[in-house]
């Protein structure tokens, strides 16, 4: 029997929501189950109200649900906020000694987590107690959890491992002893499934390493910090120079210096940090310096909602930097796509000597999902350094495809200048109108090649038929980009079960815009609905500008929270 259950772990910042979720997610993954988890948190280190949603299924899951089958409430407030999201037959786990519950019904499962933790050796073990009880409730063998704990606490020594194992066993046993008859659902381990459990930040960071990143400079800012942290954690192992810059202006300019010297360079930022990088990005444009820029979006303007999600920077990234210059913009839809897109971004930025943007958002960065193991042979880092350059070396040689040979200092006996001014073929300042025209045209000639590269939109849903015939083609097409891939895909699945003729068209590469593909894939659609996390329907506007196609309807959300299938269904 197939199953699809949701768990919400709620409490204050600092109460250990993440510790509980971590054990749970790893163990579920080891059992071959598919999980999808999203953290909703406030911009504070202690207190407030945060929660983690974990969805578990025997088939792949791509989004979160509004309601949950199991609530783990770590404080009284969490019970009050979420109790109505748990339907009859669901479970609410809480500690009766620390959490006040008005009129508990048969959904409530009191577990004295603090007392059990003290018995196991320390009150800090209460998270492991909770994890033990949840696993018992889900009827999942605790052996994998034991293995995980041994690995997780290996550095902390035998004593810590021992205490945690004891706590896990206590939480597990307490549930079985007191709620043995509580039958929840048939969760069956799928041990044959080999998956990885990865979050969006890690997927991009891992992609950067696989793409040959050699230099990263960034300034910490939520929700982009995770990518920077992941890469920095591997810097020593992969010989990557990682520097925390004094500000985002420095970060982008450091990356451009490294790029000039021959590095595969990148930076990561969000919101305000991206604004600070605007001039540096313009410099990358005129210097034709490869650089990968990861922008993890959050709602603005200004500080906006610092720890929440949005897709408000699309039109900004399309134009960021004064003057005109070509660029790549990618907005991957899921973690596997993000991994490969990042490798492509490094390769393409190098090949065309243009900045490549990767747009993610808080929802995407912080979401954990199980995915099938990435096939590392599918995309590889490719370097486009020239093997020979002419004498004298012309860094900005006018070429047919717009791409000039890019060499680095000390690769040979030549010298060259990279300049922020308009320049001649050898990089020197010029104000000559004719040279200027030739340079602008050379830079934009790259677009022809760029247009043919990686990043075609993904069509999901009713099968496509050869053009000319409309039979079998979806009547309603949802258009989306970036992190909304999963939720729209599940919306399509849901509507198809209702015999509706629907499909999704998801855009990863947004610039150069895949115009031909968009036009051909949307041909014959009766209704086009855009789904975006912003107020203006920015992608819809770009679609209209690029193709003349206008969406019939826009489903927009800008409250800083991600879409759910329920939310979309209510609006169609």
Partner 1 sequence: MENTNPFHYEGELSWCPGCGDFQILKSVEKTLTSLNKKPSEVVLVSGIGQAAKLPHYIHANGFNGLHGRALPPAFGIKAFNRDLTVLVTTGDGDCYGEGGNHLIHAIRRNIDITVIVHNNQVYGLTKGQASPTSEVGMVTKTQPYGVVSLPFNPIAFAIAMDTPFVARSYSKEIDFTAELIRQGVETKGFALIDILQPCVSFNKINTYQWYSQRVYKLDNTYDPTNRVKAFEKSLEWGDKIPIGVIYRSQRQTYDETLDRLGIKPQINPAHNLIQRGSSQGVMCGVNTLPDLSKVKSLLSEF
Helix, coil or strand: residue 337: helix
Our CB check for partner 1 shows the closer of 112 and 355 to be 355
In the complex, the smallest distance separating the C-beta of residue 511 from partner 1, rounded to whole angstroms, is: 23
Task: State the number of CA atoms in the 13 A half-sphere of 290 facing the CB.
Answer: 29
Our CB check for partner 1 shows the closer of 254 and 305 to be 254
In the complex, the smallest distance separating the C-beta of residue 215 from partner 1, rounded to whole angstroms, is: 6
Q: In the 8-state DSSP scheme, what is residue 374?
A: P
Our CB check for partner 1 shows the closer of 375 and 434 to be 375
Our CB check for partner 1 shows the closer of 155 and 236 to be 236
Q: Which residues pair with 461 in a beta bridge?
A: 503
Q: Which residue, 254, 319, 242, is CA-closest to 285?
A: 319
Give the contacts of 164 (CB within 8 A, at least 6 positions apart).
125, 128, 149, 153
Q: Which residue, 482, 572, 461, is CA-closest to 525?
A: 461
Our CB check for partner 1 shows the closer of 259 and 341 to be 259
d(CA 28, CA 460): 28
Our CB check for partner 1 shows the closer of 257 and 524 to be 257
In the complex, the smallest distance separating the C-beta of residue 50 from partner 1, rounded to whole angstroms, is: 24
Our CB check for partner 1 shows the closer of 291 and 329 to be 291
Contact of 50 with 21, CB cutoff 8 Å = no
Helix axes 143-152, 17-30, angle to 10 degrees: 120
Contact of 134 with 20, CB cutoff 8 Å = yes
In the complex, the smallest distance separating the C-beta of residue 353 from partner 1, rounded to whole angstroms, is: 14
Contact of 31 with 23, CB cutoff 8 Å = no
In the complex, the smallest distance separating the C-beta of residue 219 from partner 1, rounded to whole angstroms, is: 11
Our CB check for partner 1 shows the closer of 191 and 428 to be 428
In the complex, the smallest distance separating the C-beta of residue 302 from partner 1, rounded to whole angstroms, is: 20
Tokens of 96: 């009766």
Match 């793409």 to its residue by tokens: 211
Q: How far apart are the first and last CA of the chain?
A: 30
Our CB check for partner 1 shows the closer of 2 and 377 to be 377
Give the CA distances from residue 154 to residues 57, 161, 271, in Å, rounded to whole numbers and listed in that order. Answer: 30, 7, 38
Contact of 328 with 343, CB cutoff 8 Å = no
For residue 304, count CB atoms less than 10 angstroms from its CB and return exposed for 0-12, middle for 13-18, buried for 19 or more: middle
Our CB check for partner 1 shows the closer of 31 and 259 to be 259
In the complex, the smallest distance separating the C-beta of residue 387 from partner 1, rounded to whole angstroms, is: 4
In the complex, the smallest distance separating the C-beta of residue 417 from partner 1, rounded to whole angstroms, is: 4
Task: Count CB-CB contacts under 10 A for residue 535.
Answer: 13
In the complex, the smallest distance separating the C-beta of residue 43 from partner 1, rounded to whole angstroms, is: 25
Our CB check for partner 1 shows the closer of 176 and 407 to be 407
Task: State the number of CA atoms in the 13 A half-sphere of 129 facing the CB.
Answer: 23
In the complex, the smallest distance separating the C-beta of residue 255 from partner 1, rounded to whole angstroms, is: 6
Our CB check for partner 1 shows the closer of 23 and 254 to be 254
d(CA 505, CA 478): 6
Our CB check for partner 1 shows the closer of 103 and 239 to be 239
In the complex, the smallest distance separating the C-beta of residue 245 from partner 1, rounded to whole angstroms, is: 7
d(CA 201, CA 230): 7
In the complex, the smallest distance separating the C-beta of residue 476 from partner 1, rounded to whole angstroms, is: 36
d(CA 261, CA 373): 35
Our CB check for partner 1 shows the closer of 229 and 451 to be 229
Match 């020197």 to its residue by tokens: 428
In the complex, the smallest distance separating the C-beta of residue 433 from partner 1, rounded to whole angstroms, is: 18
Our CB check for partner 1 shows the closer of 190 and 467 to be 190
Tokens of 515: 């115009």
Contact of 84 with 22, CB cutoff 8 Å = no
In the complex, the smallest distance separating the C-beta of residue 254 from partner 1, rounded to whole angstroms, is: 4
d(CA 260, CA 409): 8
Max alpha carbon distance in the chain (Å)? 85
Whether omega for the bond prior to residue 439 falls within 30 degrees of 0, making it cis, is: no
Tokens of 499: 């015999």
In the complex, the smallest distance separating the C-beta of residue 178 from partner 1, rounded to whole angstroms, is: 36
Contact of 511 with 316, CB cutoff 8 Å = no
- Chain mean position to CA 382: 24
């Amino acid at each position: 029997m197939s199953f699809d259950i949701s768990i919400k772990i709620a409490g204050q910042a600092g109460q250990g929501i993440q510790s509980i979720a971590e054990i749970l997610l790893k163990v579920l993954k080891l059992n071959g189950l598919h999980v999808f988890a999203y953290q909703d948190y406030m911009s504070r280190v202690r207190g407030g109200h945060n929660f983690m949603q974990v969805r578990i299924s025997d088939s792949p899951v791509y989004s979160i649900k509004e309601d949950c089958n199991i609530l783990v409430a770590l404080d009284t407030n969490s019970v009050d906020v979420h109790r109505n999201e748990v339907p009859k037959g669901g479970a609410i786990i809480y500690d009766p000694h620390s959490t006040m519950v008005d009129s508990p019904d048969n959904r409530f499962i009191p577990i004295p987590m603090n007392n059990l933790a003290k018995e196991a050796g320390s009150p800090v073990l209460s998270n492991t107690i909770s994890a033990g009880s949840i696993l018992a409730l889900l009827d999942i063998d605790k052996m994998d959890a034991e293995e995980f704990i041994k690995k997780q606490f290996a550095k902390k020594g035998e004593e810590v491992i021992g205490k945690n194992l004891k706590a896990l066993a206590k939480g597990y046993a307490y549930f079985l002893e007191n709620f043995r008859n509580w039958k929840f659902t048939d969760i069956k381990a799928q041990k044959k499934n080999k998956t990885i459990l990865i979050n969006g930040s890690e997927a991009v960071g891992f992609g950067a390493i696989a793409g040959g990143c050699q230099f990263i400079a960034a300034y910490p800012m939520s929700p982009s910090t995770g990518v920077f942290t992941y890469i920095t954690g591997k810097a020593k192992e992969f010989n990557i120079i990682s520097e925390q810059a004094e500000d985002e202006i420095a970060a982008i300019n450091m990356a451009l210096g490294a790029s000039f010297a021959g590095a595969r360079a990148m930076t990561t930022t969000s919101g305000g940090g991206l604004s600070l990088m605007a001039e540096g990005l313009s410099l990358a444009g005129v210097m034709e310096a490869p650089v990968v820029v990861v922008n993890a979006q959050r709602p603005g303007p200004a500080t906006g909602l610092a720890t929440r999600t949005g897709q408000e920077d699309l039109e900004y990234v399309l134009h960021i930097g004064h003057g005109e210059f070509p660029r790549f913009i990618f907005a991957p839809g899921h973690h596997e796509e993000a991994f490969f897109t990042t490798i492509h971004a490094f390769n393409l930025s190098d090949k065309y000597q243009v900045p490549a943007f990767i747009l993610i958002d808080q929802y995407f960065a912080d979401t954990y999902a199980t995915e099938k193991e990435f096939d590392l042979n599918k995309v590889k880092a490719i370097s486009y350094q020239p093997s020979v350059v002419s004498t004298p070396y012309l860094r900005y040689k006018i070429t047919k495809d717009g791409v000039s040979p890019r060499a680095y200092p000390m690769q040979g006996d030549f010298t060259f200048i990279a300049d922020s001014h308009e320049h001649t073929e050898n990089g020197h300042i010029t104000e000559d109108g004719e040279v200027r025209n030739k340079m602008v045209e050379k830079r934009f000639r790259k677009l022809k090649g760029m247009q043919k590269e990686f990043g075609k939109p993904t069509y999901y849903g009713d099968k496509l038929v050869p053009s000319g015939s409309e039979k079998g083609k979806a009547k309603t097409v949802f258009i989306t980009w970036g992190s909304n891939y999963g939720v729209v895909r599940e919306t399509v699945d849901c509507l198809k079960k209702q015999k509706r003729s629907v499909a999704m068209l998801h855009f990863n590469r947004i610039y150069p815009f895949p115009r031909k593909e968009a036009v051909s894939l949307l041909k014959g659609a009766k209704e086009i609905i855009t789904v975006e996390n912003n107020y203006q329907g920015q992608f819809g506007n770009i679609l209209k500008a690029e193709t003349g196609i206008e969406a019939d309807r826009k489903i927009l959300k800008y409250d800083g929270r991600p879409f759910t299938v329920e939310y979309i269904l209510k609006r169609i």
